[in-house]
Amino acid sequence: MLSILEDIKRTGSWAVMGILNVTPDSFSDGGRYDRCDAAVEHALSMQAAGARIIDIGGESTRPGAEPVTVQHELKRVVPVIEALRRQSDIAISIDSMKPEVMQAAIDAGADMVNDVNALQAQGAVEVCARAGVPVCLMHKQGTPQTMQDDPQYRDVVEEVAVFLQQAADRCIEGGIAADRIMVDPGFGFGKTLENNLSLLKGTDRLCRLPYPVLVGVSRKSMFGMLLGREVDDRMVASVTAAVIAYQKGARLFRVHDVAETCDALKVCAAVS
Ligand code: 9MG
């Protein structure tokens, strides 16, 4: 994982992170990969399609999702991480807000932590600092249960940029090396359609922060609102948004449609 980050910083290369939700209720692929063997098979197929990182999550963060207990989350993610680690050397990311899950996932073979809560839970920074793993710090307003109720910003791009810089400062103070930090504006997390479009347009501002920017727009409801399309019919919109984000400086992309996104980004990279 560190070599991926080093490449991005040194050569401006890019990487796709394939999404592996091992939850019964994820918004875009709910329940499809909640058996260990099916989950590993899907991870390996995303690797074959060009993913360099697999992001494994056992708690849905879709708007309105109910939280799960540590025990439930561990039961979902740990066997999949162990099985994938036995079969592949791909970088594994644990998508969790809970320090206990982060620690168990790292012990099971995860290489990085993706936290939609930006390591704000008590003990999360300590776990990641001690393990020395790269981290992705995401912005959100509110909690998954309430975040879409009535999000408010004066200047969404500026507020997200300030939040991400402060989150990174807090992690560095807590012992996480600056070269292990990625930041993410958190599309759809406490944002209106207008907020999401402003963030996409303002991705270049976020890329002026001294950290690689990861974007996750894949199949999100912003495209449902903009285009009136159902979740399984948002691939073109998602790839288009990834291309826009790339052109504004983002270099990490959390996606469902790995092959299509990789093709688009290869074209972008060939002319940049
Ligand atoms: C877990 N998860 C769901 N959406 C996400 C996004 O946009 N970014 C990151 N980093 N994680 C996400």
Query: Which H or E run includes 197?
Result: helix 193-201
Q: Helix, strand or coil for residue 84? A: helix
Q: Give Cβ neighbours of residue 125 (< 8 Å, ≥ 6 apart).
A: 119, 170, 171, 174, 175, 176
First to last CA, the chain: 24
Burial of residue 197 (CB within 10 Å: 0-12, 13-18, 19+) is: middle
According to DSSP, the residues that pair with 18 across neighbouring strands are: 54, 255
The encoded tokens of residue 140 equal 């959100």
Query: Is 75 labeled as catalytic in the residue annotation?
Result: no
Is 241 touching ligand 1 by the criterion CB < 6 Å?
Answer: no
Judge whether 172 and 219 are in contact, CB under 8 Å.
no
130 C-alpha to ligand 1 centroid (Å) = 23
- The number of angstroms, rounded, from the C-alpha of 75 to the middle of its chain's C-alpha atoms is 21
* Of the candidates 142, 114, 138, 120, the residue with the CA atom closest to the CA atom of residue 21: 114
Burial of residue 83 (CB within 10 Å: 0-12, 13-18, 19+) is: middle
Is 184 touching ligand 1 by the criterion CB < 6 Å?
Answer: yes
Q: Where are the domains of the chain?
A: 2-271
Rg (the chain; Cα; Å):
17
Identified catalytic residue from 52, 220, 234, 251 = 220
Q: pLDDT 10s per residue in the chain (272 long)?
A: 999 999 999 999 999 999 999 987 655 565 566 589 999 999 999 999 999 999 999 999 887 888 899 999 999 999 999 999 999 999 999 999 999 999 999 999 999 999 999 999 999 999 999 999 999 999 999 877 787 778 899 999 999 999 999 999 999 999 999 999 999 999 999 999 999 999 999 999 999 999 999 999 999 999 999 999 999 999 999 999 999 999 999 999 999 999 999 999 999 999 99
- In b/e form, how buried is each residue of 229-248, taking b as 16+ CB within 10 angstroms? eeeeebbebbbebbbbbbeb
pLDDT for the residue numbered 34: 59
pLDDT for the residue numbered 63: 79
pLDDT for the residue numbered 33: 63
Burial of residue 218 (CB within 10 Å: 0-12, 13-18, 19+) is: buried
Q: According to CATH, what is the number of the domain 2-271? A: 3.20.20.20
- The number of angstroms, rounded, from the C-alpha of 90 to the middle of its chain's C-alpha atoms is 16
Is 214 touching ligand 1 by the criterion CB < 6 Å?
Answer: yes
86 C-alpha to ligand 1 centroid (Å) = 25
Is 57 touching ligand 1 by the criterion CB < 6 Å?
Answer: yes
Is 116 touching ligand 1 by the criterion CB < 6 Å?
Answer: yes
Query: Is 254 labeled as catalytic in the residue annotation?
Result: yes
pLDDT for the residue numbered 146: 81
